[in-house]
Structure 1
Amino acid sequence: MAAKWALGTAQLGQPYGIANKAGKPPRKRAREILQTAVAAGVAYLDTAPVYGNSENIIGDYIRKQSSSSTIPSIVTKLPAVRLHPLDQTSIDDFVRQSVQSSIHRLHVPHIDVYLLHDPADLTSHGGNVISALSTIKEEGLVKRIGVSVYTPGEAETALRLGCLDAIQIPLNILDHRFLRTHLLKRLTLSGMVVFARSIYLQGLILMEPENVPRPLERAREPLRKLRLLARELDMTPAQLSLCFVRDLPGLDSMILGCETLEQLRQNLRVIRSPSLPEAVRRRIEHLFGDLPDAVINPVQWR
């Protein structure tokens, strides 16, 4: 069964993405994007305190809904814990205050999925951050706890902890790191809710190869190959990329951001399109199965 989908809302709270041309949408347009996504059956709204005023925009939308309205599950994140080594009580207070602030901004009784935004906090402070997450889960402030990771190594750390309920991983048509080692399958078998993000690699996949900035020139050739394959299949690069992730077994949800209502509608049309033939999937794995981290990991773009 194809993955459900989540609306990524980083673009609603701030200009986001290497290919962003529209900038941050006006507040009225952001509400229209949320309304359209909810009407289309979006399963999750994905946000974070560092996404500008994204949480406030979602909270304002939720506050204005009737009591009978269906609100998607909320995914938000704990900001990176940049405290000096402190005792468990101090870190508990920091985490509790952070989640309560998100609950207040979002106008919800609890957070459905609460993730570490910085995977370093899986082990920071002697494990006290993870203990603090477990505490707010026991108190009912959050329903699931987890982490948003950048690398397979960070996901392995999350697996070893054995106490997390959810994980976000980067996964797209150019980034197969979680597929080559069957790590996606292992995450699924662990019982964690698995979200795929970076479906368009922060917009890089949507760029014309000649427009890619010089520090990312190694991405130009893979992007040319992607466009050739998409043209052969009578698809756009965006359609081909989204279908590749949508059809992966083991994903609970894929996170799709947008800057405009038309981008959202395009994504919805692709979500409902037929599955890719297995032969096409094999060609994709052959063409893009082993690209360097300098291309596929945005942390290294800096």
Structure 2
Amino acid sequence: MAKIGLGTVQFGMSYGNKSNEQLMAYSEVENILNSSIAEHIDFYDTAVAYGLSEERLGQFDLHMKNPKALISTKIPVVERSIWSNEQAYFNLIKDYSIRSLKNLKMEKHRLLQFHQCDLEFLESPSVKNVFARLLEKRVAENLGISIYSEAEANSAASIESINWLQVPGNILDRRFLTSNFLDKMKAKGISLMCRSAFLQGVLVEDADLPYVKRLKELRHLRKLALEAIGRIGPNTSLKSLALRYLYYNHYEDLNVVLIGVDSNDALLQNIGLIKQNTQSLSLNEISEFDEARRFLSENELFNPGSWNR
């Protein structure tokens, strides 16, 4: 059953949509983490590549203050010359994992994820051997992959050592939210966490859009989404529907719905929106976004990493 998880990239690096975005003050990190504990959030997503995020979670003593929480970090992308060498890659991951445990002030990794997800990597026998050794040597209790495409998801899910996938998903991008995909993952025993609930601000009415080369297309995508909201009815917010869709329509399908925030107020607002309306979206409400979905798909705007190309 879905629960809210907190993404922490904003804790460690400038990750906003403004060109002059500054690193979040540590006092605000403390406020957010204190609120997350008060609101019973017990899943936190971080990564080696997230700047100071791990260190700040450790500085707060999150593992001690929220001992039931699952704090998961991710191993960064490395070159083929490294991951194709089984011993070298195993040693590198072990070094990263030890460093992360020190940063996070934890004794073990309950879930260790990988940012790397290209098919050549996932289908490499040496990589699969490394994954098996990581579990055998108890470097981590569980392993997961953060993926972007259906081919990557299917490849990752076929690896015996992998039992978590982090997938993008929202009211516009439903590639990984179909009954076919969800049933397939459930049959394989794969736990799912879903990121990109707001498509990096596109699905938040008053958020600044990313200053990227494809800004014009993002503006049109938001316009189409807002037109859908207008047809659904008054007193309805795009952000609220985006949250309700992931949390309530897929309550039984997803293990974790990740949200990232740039302030404590934003976290409390998001949680308030989830509590305020506990109804899943109707099929008619979901279908109002069909035009926006087609535009997203036809222009291949699924991955924010491609918006600057």
> TM-score higher than 0.5 here?
yes
Aligned to 1:95: 93
Indicate conservation of the 8 Å contact 1:244/1:281, yes or no: no
Match in the other structure for 2:136: 138
Cα RMSD (Å): 2.7
Q: What is the one-letter code of the residue matched to 1:127?
A: P
Please list, as runs of the form range in 1=range in 2, the aligned pairs for 1:25-104 lying within 5 A after superposition: 25-62=24-61, 65=64, 69-82=66-79, 84=81, 87-104=85-102
1:270 corresponds in structure 2 to 273
Per-residue Cα deviation, 1:131-164 (whole angstroms, up to 9, x for no partner): 2232222222311101000111110111222331
Name which of 134, 145, 156 aligns with 1:158.
156
Residue 87 of structure 1: CA displacement?
3.3
Matched ranges for 1:140-219 at <5 A: 140-180=138-178, 182-206=180-204, 215-219=214-218
Partner-residue secondary structure (3-state), 1:70: coil
Which residue of the partner structure matches residue 118 of structure 1?
Answer: 116
1:148–1:134: structure 2 CA closer, same or farther, 3 Å change rule?
same
Instruction: Tell me which protein shows more helix as a share of its residues.
Output: 1
Asked whether 1:294 is paired with 2:291, we answer no
Distance 1:63 1:178 in 2: 31
Q: Normalising to structure 2: TM-score of the pair?
A: 0.86
Deviation at 1:286, TM superposition (A): 3.1
CA distance in 1, matches of 2:31, 2:206: 29
SS where residue 154 of structure 1 aligns?
A: helix
What's the CA shift for 1:235? 2.0
What's the secondary structure of 1:179's corresponding residue?
A: coil
Q: Is the 2:209–2:215 Cα contact (8 Å) retained in structure 1?
A: no
In 1, Cα distance between equivalents of 2:64 and 2:159: 38
Displacement of 1:82 after TM fit? Answer: 1.8
| CA–CA distance in structure 2, aligned partners of residues 10 and 210 of structure 1 | 18
> C-alpha displacement at 1:80, in angstroms?
0.9
Q: CA contact under 8 A between 2:63 and 2:104: conserved in structure 1?
A: no
Structure 2: how far apart are the matches of 1:267 and 1:49? Answer: 26
CA drift of 1:271 comes to 2.1
Structure 1 residue 100: Cα displacement: 1.1
Aligned to 2:255: 252
Give the match for residue 235 of structure 2: 234
Aligned-residue offset at 1:279: 3.4
Distance (Å, rounded) in 2 between the aligned partners of 1:84 and 1:179: 35
Q: Secondary structure at the match of 2:202?
A: helix
Structure 1 length normalisation: TM-score?
A: 0.88
Unaligned runs of 5+ in 2: none
Alpha-carbon distance, 1:204 to partner: 2.3
From the superposition, tell whether residues 212 and 7 of structure 1 become closer, same or farther in structure 2 (CA, over 3 Å). Answer: closer
CA distance in 2, matches of 1:228, 1:277: 17
Q: Please list every run of 5 or more consecutive structure 1 residues that lacks an aligned counterpart in the other structure.
A: none
Structure 1's 113 and 101: CA in aligned 2 closer, same or farther, altered over 3 A?
same
- 1:106-142 CA-to-partner distances (Å, cap 9, x unmatched) read 1111112111101027736933233223222222231
Give the whole-Å Cα distance in 1 for the aligned partners of 2:261 and 2:207. 21
**2:61–2:104 contact (8 Å) kept in structure 1:** yes
Deviates more, 1:287-296 or 1:17-26: 17-26
